[in-house]
Structure 1
Amino acid sequence: MTATPDPLEQHRWRPLRQLLDAMDADIARLYADRGITGVRPRFVAPLIRLGRRGGMTIRQLADSLEVTHSAMSQTVAALQRDGLVTTAAGADARTREVVLTDRAREILPFLEAEWRATEEAVAELEAEIPYALSQVVRDLQAALARRSFHDRIADRIAES
């Protein structure tokens, strides 16, 4: 019997995930440098959105940031645990509105400044490399629009 290679030895996505994790860690370090605790980079977009648009339901917040309701529900739960948002009765008995706490409103100017600075730093990085990551993403999206990732994987499983 011939042993097949360990599939974990091939990992084309791991370097990208590690890069993004390292960049997120650097952003988190900026928060720590400023004494901001309990804030993770993934919290910033919902906090800014709530700061700009006011209270929203989890569904509205998820839709506005183009994430799943489940993912946003988990994020809101974490934001509540860290004292950054509270929920209040919504327009009807079935909904809850997510609103910023005073603590979140205090740090919001820094979070917006960090967001803008991060976007500028990404643009600077893209200018230093021959093929911008944002272009890579657009090219991958176009390729996946022609044939989904699901179909690509399913075809290979069927072949094996």
Structure 2
Amino acid sequence: MTSVDPTASPGRWHALHALLTHLDGQIESLYTDRDIEGVRPRFAYPLIRLAHTGPLTIRELADSLGHSHSAMSQTISAMRREGLVNSEPGADARTRRITLTDRARDLIPFLEAEWRATEAAVAELDDEVPHPLSAVVTALEDALERRSMKERILSHLDAGKGR
């Protein structure tokens, strides 16, 4: 190999991804501490939404949460394996409506409480750091609105960097 391994010294992207992974791990450890097995933090959002809306198709659920159909389909499959959701035939042969199982319904009060506690903890962090996370996220969203991440990456690839 003639190039330097770009993964040998983790950069800014890795640091951000590692932080988010660590935070998710902290939330997941709360579940384990409460003897809630097989539930991941990414399940909370769709489970809580389904509790409030009733059955939805994967597309409807994905759209309501701002996620892609593909990502939501994968999450639904994982939740189904953990006994949290079922699917039933939808309006036509191509759609299935996702419903909560009794196990999931029993978890909703805890998941809602954890959601609110997590939001409070993020607000606490916002107040504690010199650059509030909420302001940084808004600034990043604004910058990405002006020029997408894909466009930024492509400009570096097209300039011959990162080969």
TM superposition score category, shorter chain reference: over 0.9
State the Cα distance separating 1:154 from its structure 2 match.
1.4
The match for 2:4 is 5
Runs of 5+ consecutive residues of structure 2 not aligned to the other structure? none
Q: Are 1:86 and 2:86 matched, yes or no?
A: yes
Alignment of 1:27 with 2:8, yes or no, is no
Q: CA offsets per residue over residues 73-128 of structure 1, 9 Å max, x none? A: 01101111100000011122221100000000001100000000000000001100
User: Which whole-Å deviations, capped at 9, do the CAs of 1:28-54 have from their partners, x for residues lacking one?
Assistant: 111111111110000000000000100
Cα distance between partner residues in 2 of 1:114 and 1:87 = 26
Unaligned runs of 5+ in 1: none
SS of residue matched to 1:140? helix
1:147 aligns with 2:147: yes
TM-score scaled by length of structure 1: 0.94
RMSD between superposed Cα atoms in Å: 1.2
Residue identity over aligned pairs, in percent, reads 56
Three-state SS of the structure 2 residue aligned to 1:13 is helix
Cα separation, 1, equivalents of 2:25 and 2:153 = 31
C-alpha separation in 2, matches of 1:34 and 1:53? 26
1:108 equivalent in structure 2: 108
Task: Give the drift of 1:131.
Answer: 0.8
Q: What residue in structure 2 maps to residue 72 of structure 1?
A: 72
Deviation at 1:10, TM superposition (A): 4.8
For 1:91 and 1:136, locate their aligned partners in 2 and report how far apart those are by CA, in whole Å. 43
TM-score (norm. length: structure 2): 0.92
Alpha-carbon distance in 1 for matches of 2:121, 2:10? 31
Aligned residue number for residue 14 of structure 1? 14
Q: CA deviation at 1:19?
A: 1.2
Pairs within 5 Å for 1:131-146: 131-146=131-146
SS of 2:91's partner is: coil
* One-letter identity of the residue aligned with 1:49: R
- Provide the C-alpha distance between the structure 2 equivalents of 1:83 and 1:143, rounded to a whole number of angstroms: 40
State yes or no: 1:123 paired with 2:123: yes
Q: Which amino acid letter does the alignment assign opposite residue 5 of structure 1?
A: V
